[in-house]
Structure 1
Amino acid sequence: MTFSLKPKNLLDQPFVLPCGAIIKNRLIKSAMSDSLADGEGNPTDRQIRLYERWAEGGVGLSIIGEVQIDPKYPETPGNLVLDPQSNGQALRALTSRASVNDAHIWAQLGHAGALAYQPLSQVKGPSALKIGDFECLGMSEQEVSQLPEMYAKAAKIAKDAGFTGVQIHAGHGFLLSQFLSPLFNRRTDLYGGTVEARSRIIVDILHKLRFTLGDRFPIGIKINSSDQLDGGLTSQEALEVIRILDQTSVDLIEISGGSYFPGAKASSDAASNGPYFVDFAMNARNMTKIPLVVTGGFKTCEQVLKALSAKCADFVGLGRAFILEPELARDWTKGIETQADFPTFKSPPSGGVTAWYTMALSEIANDREREVELDLSMAIQAYEDRDKRRVDRWRAKFQ
């Protein structure tokens, strides 16, 4: 079954970012934590193949999630790291193969902050905090002021390695998201208080990146529409962040939502079955001229076309759909109505669905299309065991 020419053209239409870079279509493989690096912050053959497959499959842009700017605060020991010890040859192999078929490949620059992997980190957030069993230290003003330079150094390594852009991760409860959140950010200095003050470090980072990377290199940012967490960033505050970002030189704003902080409400728990953030994106569209991506809960081509036709966003980001069907972008832009077969999980344990999809990435990376075992407890165990095996390698290199 094929779509009519008009919606096909809508998906396949190139887009020119403010910096002048051209993304060939409107389908973005949003950042996910693939956890496929080698335990020393370097790409593996499987990780390289994974992003090559998505490029061959027709995406306009793939974003590699959780590329760390500081090995002291990783999300997992399977993250990539961009620092002077990085394996430049392996990074260039990754970017070369992930950019075939005119695809963009961007690095999502991250710092897990208070949600860093605890076996490897003395976790720190914007403020010292203790909520139930959760506890973290607070960053000094000097540590905060060093962040723009740290992000800029990592971004320069990314550019030199062949990444065609970078995205600043300010969503999902990690460090820059923590600065935006009144739950995590209880500072009384210039980095805390009002939404504008809580956004200050992000604006400083964006300014430093633009100065370092030049006017023609794409810079994006991912933010939450809300934290979906009591005391966290609200939707109204997030719109104020959009207004602040509109005054920067950022090229692309990706809208998502939620947090990995314990107790945060998952988007999939909402009354809607997805997409989850289209209404917020429509409101954000009225706040900024900067191109927008809306991500979260898109499962069908019809949903994507509806969002693009409504002009609430210029791109749609997909994650799990591209795990289930790596060639989905190629099919949809050609008018082929391929449907991803989303599995159904009954009463999934906490973290189980995310672990299942993360482990399923390995099947794509190995060019195996067989069905993955649906036992979520086994997926969680396999995911945790894989991280534990990498801890010693990470410590040996970085600590």
Structure 2
Amino acid sequence: MSHPAPLFQPLELPCGVILKNRIAKSAMSDSLGDGTGHPTAEQYRLYQRWAEGGLAVSIIGEVQSSPNFPEKPGNLVLDSQADLSKFQELARHGGRNGAQLWLQLGHAGALAHGPISNPKGPSALDLPGLVCAEMMLEKIRQVPQDFARTAELAKQAGFGGVQVHAAHGFLLSQFLSPLFNKRSDEYGGTITNRMRLILECIRAIREAVGPDFPIAIKLNASDQLEGGLVEDDALQVVAALDATSIDLIDISGGTYFPGAKSASDSAGRGPYFVEFAKRARKETTKPLMLTGGVKTRGQADEALSSGAVDVIGLARALALEPTLPNLWQENRMPEPSFPRFPNAAEGGITAWYTMRLTRMGADQETDDIGSLEQAIQEYEARDNIRAEIWSRHFGPPAS
């Protein structure tokens, strides 16, 4: 009897949940919320298409525990005021075909969307393009309980798990980074202190959801910024996570610090963080997921066969072809056709892919790449409309 290829073998997580294969749709900010923090019909359809496309788990980017620090006005907000039935509908659509649908627990902190927030981070910053106040100690200590409450609601709504977002320059990533975190109390200084909030979040979430509900974390290998989180410190975080009840460590990198290039916008060929994953494997027995730069079936197979990682995270590849897992299992389409955008404006490629997801949710995507400038205009116009809705619905941002 032949065994399935490594990419299509099931994986049992430490909590006992079994993923049907090793392909995950990594969290992307799809910006498809309706402006009041609730999912839309286009979002239901998008995650249904991914589930039917054959992946094991799909992760919804940046679901907020409150409306106070969103990354974008299209974020979802799952708190005690949310209409849980709309989230239940999303969980139902995204959980078809044996797929898992997880929520990524987010808090943008210093990078919160300015028009609808008063950004706050570990420390006060006044830099070109980035101004934020310092979070007070009582607000920091509230974050784990906020995340735990949203995770509990996610479980009630029928989602399969949650992912703690500690990457890409958002709040928990900011605490890890010496570039953002200049604190001198128990949350700043050494990496032991800088990771404290993350460990508190994991403990609080586990207490809220019980032992058999998956909790993942997305972690930067490095911030890819001078003065930011470096790999040696990130490895210490991985080692500390090994002693927690975490079920999956998703390795990524880069940050949305103003002016910085994200790893996915770089010109290099991926996977981007496989060498770090090999180092991380020596620090933990937890399942590892690799996100960033995996564009071909061969790259995915090689990363798994190396033993460095257990799950392959795909993002833009699945924005181009939502049935890619099924195609790979049928030994078809080893590599999607990625569009080329020479000399793209900062944030332009992200805008293009975000609008691509919008069209996928409406079953209206085409092979026509179109204009990057038009995608940016559409993206910004929609943000402006939803920011107005957000402000009317939630009121003035918290101070």
Query: Under a length normalisation based on structure 1, what TM-score does the superposition of the two structures give?
Result: 0.96
1:31 to 27, 30, 43: 27
> Could you tell me which amino acid in structure 1 is paired with residue 228 of structure 2?
G
Cα pair distance change 1:78/1:269, threshold 3 Å: closer
2:234 to 223, 235, 238: 238
Same amino acid, percent of matched pairs: 52
CA distance in structure 2 between the partners assigned to 1:74 and 1:14 by the alignment? 35
Matched residue count: 395
1:194 to 168, 186, 190: 190
1:355 to 351, 371, 374: 351
Check whether the contact 1:229–1:265 (CA below 8 A) recurs between aligned residues.
Answer: no
Moved more, 389-398 or 369-378: 369-378
Partner of 2:53: 57
Equivalent residues in 2 for 1:15-30, closer than 5 Å: 15-30=11-26
Is 1:395 equivalent to 2:362 in the alignment? no
Equivalent residues in 2 for 1:48-197, closer than 5 Å: 48-197=44-193
Q: CA offset at residue 131 of structure 1? A: 2.2
Q: CA offset at residue 124 of structure 1? A: 0.2
Q: Secondary structure at 2:260's aligned position in 1?
A: coil
Q: Secondary structure at 1:67's aligned position in 2?
A: strand
Check whether the contact 2:111–2:130 (CA below 8 A) recurs between aligned residues.
Answer: no
Check whether the contact 1:227–1:264 (CA below 8 A) recurs between aligned residues.
Answer: no
Q: Secondary structure at 2:77's aligned position in 1?
A: coil
Cα pair distance change 1:397/1:271, threshold 3 Å: closer
Is 1:224 equivalent to 2:223 in the alignment? no
Question: Any unmatched runs of 5+ in structure 2?
Answer: none
> Could you tell me which amino acid in structure 1 is paired with residue 376 of structure 2?
I
Is 1:9 equivalent to 2:26 in the alignment? no
Check whether the contact 2:49–2:322 (CA below 8 A) recurs between aligned residues.
Answer: yes
Q: Secondary structure at 1:342's aligned position in 2?
A: coil
Check whether the contact 1:352–1:377 (CA below 8 A) recurs between aligned residues.
Answer: yes
Partner of 1:282: 278
Is 1:45 equivalent to 2:41 in the alignment? yes
Cα pair distance change 1:232/1:346, threshold 3 Å: same
Residues 214-244 of structure 1: per-residue CA shift (max 9 Å, x gap)? 0000000001000011111011111111111
CA distance in structure 1 between the partners assigned to 2:360 and 2:3 by the alignment? 28
Moved more, 127-136 or 34-43: 127-136
Q: CA offset at residue 268 of structure 1? A: 4.7
Cα pair distance change 1:339/1:205, threshold 3 Å: same
> Could you tell me which amino acid in structure 2 is paired with residue 189 of structure 1?
D
Residues 248-284 of structure 1: per-residue CA shift (max 9 Å, x gap)? 1100000000001112233256573111000001110
CA distance in structure 2 between the partners assigned to 1:391 and 1:337 by the alignment? 39
Q: Secondary structure at 2:76's aligned position in 1?
A: coil
Partner of 1:307: 303
Q: CA offset at residue 331 of structure 1? A: 1.4
Residues 361-387 of structure 1: per-residue CA shift (max 9 Å, x gap)? 012111123134432121111101001
Q: CA offset at residue 132 of structure 1? A: 3.0
1:325 to 321, 337, 361: 321
Q: Secondary structure at 2:5's aligned position in 1?
A: helix
CA distance in structure 1 between the partners assigned to 2:194 and 2:294 by the alignment? 30
CA distance in structure 2 between the partners assigned to 1:114 and 1:266 by the alignment? 17
CA distance in structure 2 between the partners assigned to 1:353 and 1:347 by the alignment? 10
Check whether the contact 2:175–2:194 (CA below 8 A) recurs between aligned residues.
Answer: yes
Check whether the contact 1:148–1:204 (CA below 8 A) recurs between aligned residues.
Answer: yes
Check whether the contact 2:33–2:75 (CA below 8 A) recurs between aligned residues.
Answer: yes
CA distance in structure 1 between the partners assigned to 2:61 and 2:281 by the alignment? 25
Moved more, 386-395 or 327-336: 327-336
Residues 109-138 of structure 1: per-residue CA shift (max 9 Å, x gap)? 000000000000110001111223421100
Cα pair distance change 1:198/1:298, threshold 3 Å: same
Cα pair distance change 1:270/1:379, threshold 3 Å: closer
Cα pair distance change 1:65/1:269, threshold 3 Å: closer
Residues 55-78 of structure 1: per-residue CA shift (max 9 Å, x gap)? 000010000001011201101110
Query: Under a length normalisation based on structure 2, what TM-score does the superposition of the two structures give?
Result: 0.96
Question: Any unmatched runs of 5+ in structure 1?
Answer: none
CA distance in structure 2 between the partners assigned to 1:70 and 1:211 by the alignment? 20
CA distance in structure 2 between the partners assigned to 1:380 and 1:345 by the alignment? 13
* Cα RMSD for the two superposed structures: 1.4
CA distance in structure 2 between the partners assigned to 1:160 and 1:198 by the alignment? 31
CA distance in structure 1 between the partners assigned to 2:89 and 2:265 by the alignment? 39
Cα pair distance change 1:88/1:271, threshold 3 Å: closer
